Structure 1
Amino acid sequence: MTVADRWARGLRLLGALGFAVLLGACGGGDEEPADAGTDTVYPAPNGPASTDRVIRQDYGGYQLTYDCTTHTALQYSYTLGFDNGTAARPTSFTLDPTLPAGCAQQNSASSYAGAIHPGYDRGHLVSSNHMDYNADYIQRANYMTNIVPQVATFNRNVWLDAENVAECYRDLAPVQVYGGVVYSDESNDWFLASHGIRTPEYFWKAIVTTDPATGAAKAIAWYIPNVEGLTALDPYLVSITELERLVGTDLVGITAPAAVKAMKPATSWPLPAGCNYT
């Protein structure tokens, strides 16, 4: 079976399962890039109506559920196609010019490392490398709406490992990526004064795709503490069902059969041989 045949079968199965496959977000397409800044106001997730303004913001290649009051994205989602992108990653971070009027964001695009507490990166939620198939999308991935304080060693190790799973499996079949952050402790909110954002306690990521050999749906997810010293992803494996209990079904935002949501591999998926991480 050719790569094209595997892709076609994967797309058909994802559609049959009811997943929101965003074909415009797949690499290699020649469609005109979507305008950034389309926003729909949603009620705040995980509970009754709130005074916080939570919006769904579309950046073309990815979407954010964003809290205008606390200046942070809560959830993101996007679909990846075969990796043939070469757009260069921007060398700087910028404030987001597309937020609607009255929706606040971080005070600064400067490094967290220069603030009062060392050891934190400007951590991407949506991986910049995943958006390299479109110059506009990769630029938007460096907006501060897509950035939160991330422990530097976490960012450069286990979080990168999770990003690489999506990066590699996208070459086998279309991949849907979901993720977000959880705030639960005020004691480490080092960057409220400098940037106006809290520090997440947990990051989560879920990947849904199809097995190229069988065409069956498969899923994997992690719930990872934003701390020093993590060396492996496996201790943080969860099913999507468990993730929904931890984060909230509405905020996780994955539509899939119960059997897919219940999947919890014994180990993180091994990276396919010959994967190009760039």
Structure 2
Amino acid sequence: MKQKLSAILLTLSLNASNYAHYEPSKMAQKFFNNCDVVLDKFYYQNCYDYSKKSSLAVAYKLDKNMLEAGHIKNRPKFEPDYKLAKKYRTDWNDYLHSGYDRGHILSNQSMNATTDAQRSTFLMSNIAPQTPELNRNVWLKAEKRERQVALAKGWAEVINLIEFDENNKRYIKNGIRVPNYFVKIILSDNFQECFRMPNIEMFENDKLKTYRVDCGEFNG
């Protein structure tokens, strides 16, 4: 009971220190039209799909000052998101022996200047099945890229999209749908950069630039 209460308080917490409440741009808002629920986590917003037990989009803003403010090194435990009904919720052990990593959609490293911000990224609603080859390589490089842009520009808005192929459905325990692609859109002043990465086990090329795509397809 205490663990559940702790997680509920976490999702409601506004003890954000110097973080500002994230307000999505018009571009980000258009990716939140097909959600079953929009989870406002203060630091980010999460478009969640009940049938897939998966996020469809996670958007947030990175600030140079917060990225430079220091980082909490101790990683917290993964926690269920009690803002979701139990039948739509996922748990850390759903991934055991699945062959997939618990992949952060919003990176812990991008949001760990305070304890609350870091813990919010370990909610299971911010986690999706990623192959180890993606999670520990190309996706990791994309996460580093968003921080690089924010540090250089002063800020960056990031929109992560999770895409599913209806002709190639995969699931792990608890009916969690496995994404087929992950998209990262990075926006700043006079700047747009977009990447689409397949959720596969073998990459012929692990250079991030190989997966850069035209942002125009997301601007319509």
**TM (normalized to structure 1)?**
0.62
Which residue of the other structure, out of 240, 258, 261, is the alignment partner of 2:215? Answer: 240
Give matches, 1:84-163, under 5 Å. 84-99=69-84, 101=85, 104-106=88-90, 108-110=91-93, 112-115=95-98, 118=99, 120-163=100-143
Corresponding residue for residue 178 of structure 2: 199
Say whether the 8 Å CA contact 2:94–2:174 is kept in structure 1.
Answer: no
Say whether the 8 Å CA contact 2:102–2:127 is kept in structure 1.
Answer: yes
Which residue of the other structure, out of 225, 229, 232, is the alignment partner of 2:198? Answer: 225
Say whether the 8 Å CA contact 2:19–2:43 is kept in structure 1.
Answer: no
Alignment RMSD (CA, Å): 2.8
Which is strand-richer, 1 or 2?
A: 2
Distance 1:43 1:182, change over 3 A: closer
Per-residue deviation, 1:169: 2.1
Listed as ranges, the gaps of 5+ residues in structure 2 are: 1-15, 23-30
Distance 1:160 1:55, change over 3 A: same
Say whether the 8 Å CA contact 1:190–1:199 is kept in structure 2.
Answer: yes
1 CA distance for matches of 2:214 and 2:43? Answer: 26
Corresponding residue for residue 56 of structure 2: 74
Q: How many residues align?
A: 192
Per-residue deviation, 1:98: 2.4
Say whether the 8 Å CA contact 2:82–2:89 is kept in structure 1.
Answer: no
Per-residue deviation, 1:112: 2.1
More divergent stretch after superposition (83-92 vs 231-240): 83-92
Which is helix-richer, 1 or 2?
A: 2
What are the superposed Cα offsets for residues 42-86 of structure 1, whole Å, 9 maximum, x if unpaired? 9962xxxxxxx6111111111101112321110011001111232
Distance 1:44 1:171, change over 3 A: closer
1 CA distance for matches of 2:131 and 2:32? Answer: 30
2 CA distance for matches of 1:177 and 1:131? Answer: 12
What are the superposed Cα offsets for residues 187-242 of structure 1, whole Å, 9 maximum, x if unpaired? 55240xx23211110000010113xxxxxx11100111111232112222112222
2 CA distance for matches of 1:77 and 1:44? Answer: 13
1:158 alignment partner, SS class: helix
Does residue 208 (structure 1) correspond to residue 208 (structure 2)? The answer is: no
Listed as ranges, the gaps of 5+ residues in structure 1 are: 1-26, 35-41, 46-52, 211-216, 250-278
Say whether the 8 Å CA contact 1:158–1:233 is kept in structure 2.
Answer: yes
1 CA distance for matches of 2:53 and 2:45? Answer: 16
Distance 1:228 1:139, change over 3 A: same
2:202 alignment partner, SS class: coil
Corresponding residue for residue 171 of structure 1: 151
**Rg comparison, structure with higher value:** 1
Per-residue deviation, 1:178: 0.6
